[in-house]
Amino acid sequence: MPETSNSATKSDAVSPGSWLVASQQKKFDADGAFADRALVDWSESSSANIAGGDTLFLYGSSPIGALTHECVVEKVGIPFDERLDDGEFWKDKDALLERKQRSWMRLRLVHTFAPQERGRLSLAIMKLHGLSAAPQSRMRLPEAIADLIARESTVVDRFWWVNQGGTADRRQDFQHLWAPLTAADGRRRRHWDSLDEANVGDVVVHYSHGYVIGSSRVRRASRPMVRPADFETGALRDDMGREVWLHQFSEFEVPVALEEIPVELRKDDLGEGSPFEHSGKVQQGYFFPIVPAVVGEIFKAAGLLGSFSTETEGLSEVPGNAQNGERQIQLDPTDGKAFVNYRRDQSGLRKLLFGNQQTSRCGICSREYPVEFLHTAHIKSRSACSLEERVDWRNIVMPACLFGCDALFEKSFLNVGPDGVIQLQGNYNETPSLAAFAKSLEGKVVRAFTPTNRVYFEWRNNQLG
């Protein structure tokens, strides 16, 4: 079967080393084979140029019509007589014999897409992201489909913790991770070798200077790579290592301090390669596996731990860029399995501020409204906050109603004096209606004002001059 041409996708951008491969359901039972074994041999196409270490995404033909498995190529060029015996899974024995003159490649199963994932990675959905037709043989994976897979692989097999100091300080886009193969003494380090175990779709939490600052997902598994330029801290060196590509980094609105993870849990997470010392502190190193319970505490503290549901309804279908939604984790209490979705209706900060309340009061005018009419207004602008200040969300933000208070506050028509009293400034009397509303607030004490957030109101007033 010849390799599918680029005409199968509307975009020429492809993900290096990744492939879409057709899985003919009438000929071979891929689901049965991968349920029974971790290694399966697959016939090669001479024109495809698939290499060892490449990632294959199998597309199940009708009646499935969706991606079914993610695999890594362990070996290529296997003669027919040396292939693994999987005859029991061949529905069409003649089709097997037709491939007798071909060489074979050995696939190692990385992930079997669950039913809800297959629904999100169907041919119909992939067509919305640029795929013009179902794969007929082999084709390079389009970048748009790679993004879709990373975003919509809702079942998470593993979680990882990465210690990032310098890269976070330089405000890297967190698009990749890199580690050398050996240290200066020639020895390997487990916290570097762990990069080789990360699979597409795994969730990575990023830790820097005492805080978990956000999360990302693995977009492409480990590949050999010379040290990237943006990982250099001194003179250029031709260090050989391995690189993992990440899906878009999602910064927490509220960073999670290490202390938010119960110390008992940190002490308990002492499996091989844990990021924690016996004392519960973070140990030196780079990349570590972590258990779902730790991830649950992190996302809970960030306001991003969702209630578990086996239903796909309610999981937002985020088109295009994943930045349209905020990554949320759900943990199944029965077996510890984790699911990822993207929530657009309420951020983690809103979850922390309002909880399950249906109504709340505006922090400025004190009127009560349904929470959908209240905005999370930053007293001190988020971009100016340090990590420590962003953690202090109870004093940094306040609810402000969308019926005028939020706009007046954001446009600096009102400020809050050292006693919490509203003062007007600027061109608030441009129209009679605007002046009347602003005057109705003048002289009132801001409901959200407290002695502990006074310093943030003072910062705002100083910015206004």
Q: What is the CATH number of the domain that holds 280?
A: 3.10.590
pLDDT in tens, 274-293: 899 988 999 989 999 998 88
Does a structural domain hold residue 147?
Answer: no
pLDDT at 135 over 70: yes
Share of the chain above pLDDT 90, in %: 44
Question: How many Cβ atoms are within 10 Å of 136's Cβ, its own excluded?
Answer: 16
How far apart (Å, rounded) are the C-alpha atoms in residues 272 and 215?
22
Residue 420's pLDDT band, with cuts at 50, 70 and 90, is very high
Amino acid 313: pLDDT: 34
Pick the more confident residue, 122 or 53: 122
- Tens of pLDDT, residue by residue over 363-380, are 999 999 999 999 999 999
Domain boundary among 97, 113, 142: 142
Q: Does residue 149 sit within a domain?
A: no
C-alpha span between 281 and 32 (Å, rounded): 44
> Is the N-terminal amide bond of 63 cis, ω within 30° of 0?
yes
- Stated pTM of the model: 0.65
Mean pLDDT for all residues in the chain: 83
Domain boundary among 142, 173, 196: 142
> Does residue 253 sit in the same domain as residue 391?
no
pLDDT of residue 232: 54
Do residue 297 and residue 199 come from a single domain? yes
Question: For residue 268, which of 258, 280, 260 has the smallest C-alpha distance?
Answer: 280
- Is residue 111 domain-shared with residue 171, that is, in the same domain? no
Domain hosting 264: range is 155-349
Give yes or no for residue 50 having a pLDDT over 80.
yes
What pLDDT sits at residue 195? 94
**pLDDT at residue 264 above 70?**
yes
Share of residues in the chain with pLDDT > 70 (%): 82
CA–CA separation, 293 and 276 (whole Å): 14
Shared domain for 76 and 111, answered yes or no, is yes
Confidence of residue 334 (pLDDT cuts 50, 70, 90): low
Would residue 250 count as lying in a domain?
yes
| Digit-coded pLDDT (tens) for 9-38 | 444 455 568 899 999 999 999 999 998 888
Do 378 and 318 fall into the same domain? no
Task: Label residue 2 by pLDDT band (50, 70, 90).
Answer: very low
In the predicted model, is pLDDT for residue 151 greater than 80? no
Is the pLDDT at 311 greater than 50? The verdict is no
Confidence check: pLDDT of 131 > 70? yes
215 in any annotated domain = yes
Per-residue pLDDT, averaged over 386-396, amounts to 89
Contact (CB, 8 A) for 128 and 317: no
Task: Tell me how far apart the alpha carbons of residues 162 and 207 are, in angstroms, rounded to a whole number.
Answer: 6
- Final residue in a domain of this structure, among 142, 165, 199: 142
Note the pLDDT of residue 16: 62
Q: Which residue has the tokens 């399995």?
A: 337
Please enumerate in sequence order all residues whose Cβ is within 8 A of that of 209, keeping only pairs 6 or more positions apart, or say none: 165, 168, 387
Q: How confident is the model at residue 320 (pLDDT cuts 50, 70, 90)?
A: very low
Q: Are 119 and 184 in a shared domain?
A: no
127 vs 120 pLDDT, higher one: 127
- The residue written with tokens 């759900």 in the block is 330
Indicate if the pLDDT at residue 425 is higher than 60: yes
CATH of the domain at 120: 2.30.130.30
- Tell me which of 235-244, 425-434, 442-451 is least confident: 235-244
CA distance 117 to 114: 5
* Nearest-angstrom CA–CA distance, 179 and 143: 24
Instruction: Tell me, yes or no, whether 35 and 90 share the same domain.
Output: yes
Q: 22 and 57, same structural domain? A: yes
Q: Say if 280 falls within a structural domain.
A: yes
Tell me the pLDDT tens digit for each residue of 161-219: 999 875 555 445 578 899 999 888 888 999 999 999 998 778 899 999 899 999 988 87
Strands 305-306 and 326-331: parallel
For residue 195, which phi and psi values (nearest 5 degrees)?
Answer: -60, -30
Asked if pLDDT for residue 450 goes beyond 60, the answer is: yes
pLDDT on residue 267: 84
Q: At 336, is the pLDDT very low, low, confident or very high (cuts 50, 70, 90)?
A: low
User: Do both 263 and 344 map to the same domain?
Assistant: yes
Task: Give the largest Cα separation in the chain, rounded.
Answer: 89
Task: Tell me how crowded residue 12 is: count the other CB atoms within 10 A of its CB.
Answer: 9
Is residue 54 within 8 A of residue 72, CB to CB? The reply is: yes
Q: Assess whether 180 and 268 both reside in one domain.
A: yes
> What pLDDT score was predicted for residue 6?
37
**C-alpha–C-alpha distance, residues 71 and 52, integer Å:** 11
In a domain, 150, yes or no: no
**252 and 210, same structural domain?**
yes
Q: Distance between CA atoms of 294 and 309, rounded to whole angstroms?
A: 20
The most confident of 105-119, 318-332, 437-451, by mean pLDDT:
437-451
- pLDDT value at residue 351: 82
Query: What HEC string does the chain produce?
Result: CCCCCHHHECCCCEEEEEEEEEECCCCECHHHHHHHCCEEEEECCCCCCCCCCCEEEEEECCCCCEEEEEEEEEEEEECHHHCCCCHHHECCHHHHHHCCCCCEEEEEEEEECCHHHHHHCEHHHHHHCCECCCCCCEEEEEHHHHHHHHHHCCEECCEEEEECCHHHHCCCCCCEEEEECCCCCCCCCHHHHHHHHCCCCCEEEEEECCEEEEEEEEEEEEEEEECCHHHCCCCCCCCEEEEEEECCCEEEEEEEEHHHCCHHHHHHCCCCCCCECCCCCECCCCEEEECHHHHHHHHHHCCCEECCCCCCCCCCCCCCCHHHCEEEEEECCCCCCEEEEEECCCCHHHHHHHCCCCEEECCCCCCEEEHHHEEEEECCCHHHCCHHHHHCHHHHEEEEECCCHHHHHHCCCEEECCCCEEEECCCCCCCHHHHHHHHHHCCCECCCCCCCCHHHHHHHHHHCC
Strands 138-142 and 14-23, by their bridges, are: antiparallel
Mean of pLDDT values over 378-388: 88
- The verdict on 284 and 170 lying in the same domain is yes
Rounded CA Rg of the chain: 27
Q: For residue 148, is it within any domain? A: no
pLDDT for the residue 322: 38
Number of domains in the chain: 3
Indicate if the pLDDT at residue 302 is higher than 70.
Answer: yes
**Residue 269 falls inside a structural domain:** yes
CB atoms within 10 A of CB 271: 10
